[in-house]
Amino acid sequence: MININAEFFQGTQGQLFRLIRRPPCVQGHVLYLSPLFEQANQTRHVFTRSALNVYQQGLESIIFDHYGTGDSAGDLNQTSLILWQQDIVAQLIEIKKGSTQPIILSVSLSAALLLNDDMLALIDGLLLVQAEFNGNRFAQQFKRLALAAELNQPNAEKFSVKSDELAIAGYVMKKQLFEQLKQQNIEGLSPIKTPCCWLEWQVPNNELSPARAKHYQTFQGVCASIDDPCHFYAIDDVKYWQSTELELAPQYLATEQQAIKRLLTSIVAEKIC
C-alpha cells in the first residue's frame, strides 16, 4: 500500500495543495513542478504514474498546485511569476531542513519557465523533460490560443477583464504575469553545476528539429559541470501532453526511472569527491 498524504500547507500568499507519497525509508526527494495552464491538466496523470515509480525507487515525491491554480487557494489573476518561484523555493528549503537526502527537481515542459538560481542552489539533481525555456515562444503559442478559439467560436462571449488583466482561452491573468513569462529564457540562469538529465522526444534515426536542437545546445552552454555534463535521453513515445486523449507514455516513464537512478548515482559520486 502506498503511503500518500493529501494536504494544504501555507504558501507565500495562501494555502497550497500538495500530494506527498512517502516510502518507509526515504532515500531522496523529488519535487515536481507542474507546467503552466493547460499543460498542467495534460500532464497530471503522467506525474501520478511517475510519482508511483519513484516511490518504488525509495524516493519521496511531492506534487503541488501553484498558487491560483488547481486546488490551491487564490485565482490566477492574483498571482505572479515571483510568487510562484517563492513558493517553490520555500518548499525546497522545507525539504532541506528536514532531510539530508538528495533533492531532485523534476521540471517538465513550460515549468522550465519557473526555474531560477535560488532553486538551483537548493537542489542536488535536475530532471528536465522536454523543457521549454523560451518564454517568448510560450507566450506566442498562448496568444495563438485566443486566435484559434475565435475560429471555433467567433461569436463567443468575451471575458470582461480589468485594465491590468488579460483573458486568453478562459484564463484570466495579470498582464504582468504574461510579460514575466514572456521574458524568461535560458540565458537568465547562472551556470548550472547540479547533475542534470535532459529527456527529449525524438523519432529514432531522425535528428532533433532545429528549434529543439538549438534549445538543447543553449542549455548545454549553461551547464558548467565538466565532470558530469547534462545527460541526454531520447524518448520515442507518445507526446502525452499534446494528445486529445489521455496517454501514458510507458517508454518515457521507464526512461525517467533510469534518469533518476543516474542522477542519484551522480549525486552520491559528487558528494564522495
Partner 1 sequence: MDLVQTVQKLISILTGVIPNYDDDFWSADTELFGAIAEFDSMAIVTIIGEIEEQFDIIFDDDDISAENFTSVASLAELVLNNSR
Q: How far is the CB of 144 from partner 1 (least distance, A)?
A: 5
Q: Is the Cβ of residue 41 or residue 258 nearer to partner 1 in the bound state?
A: 41
For residue 206, what is its C-alpha cell? 531522425
Q: How far is the CB of 203 from partner 1 (least distance, A)?
A: 9
Q: How far is the CB of 231 from partner 1 (least distance, A)?
A: 22
132 vs 109: CA distance, rounded Å: 5
Q: Is the Cβ of residue 152 or residue 163 nearer to partner 1 in the bound state?
A: 152
201 and 235 in contact (C-beta within 8 Å)? yes
Q: How far is the CB of 241 from partner 1 (least distance, A)?
A: 9
The helix/strand/coil state of 153 is coil
Which H/E stretch holds residue 196? strand 196-201
Q: How far is the CB of 143 from partner 1 (least distance, A)?
A: 8
Q: How far is CA 47 from CA 39, 51, 174, 247, 253, in A?
A: 12, 6, 28, 12, 9
Q: Is the Cβ of residue 17 or residue 178 nearer to partner 1 in the bound state?
A: 178
> Pick from 222, 217, 145, 132: which is nearest to 182 by CA?
132
Q: How far is the CB of 46 from partner 1 (least distance, A)?
A: 15
Q: Is the Cβ of residue 26 or residue 148 nearer to partner 1 in the bound state?
A: 148
With b meaning 16 or more CB within 10 Å and e meaning fewer, what string describes 146-159? eeeeeeeeeeeeee
Q: Is the Cβ of residue 90 or residue 172 nearer to partner 1 in the bound state?
A: 172
Q: Is the Cβ of residue 90 or residue 149 nearer to partner 1 in the bound state?
A: 149
241 vs 245: CA distance, rounded Å: 9
Residue pointed to by grid coordinates 497530471: 44
Residues at the site binding partner 1, with contacts judged by CB under 8 A: 38, 141, 143-145, 147-149, 151-152, 169, 209-212, 238-239, 242-245, 247
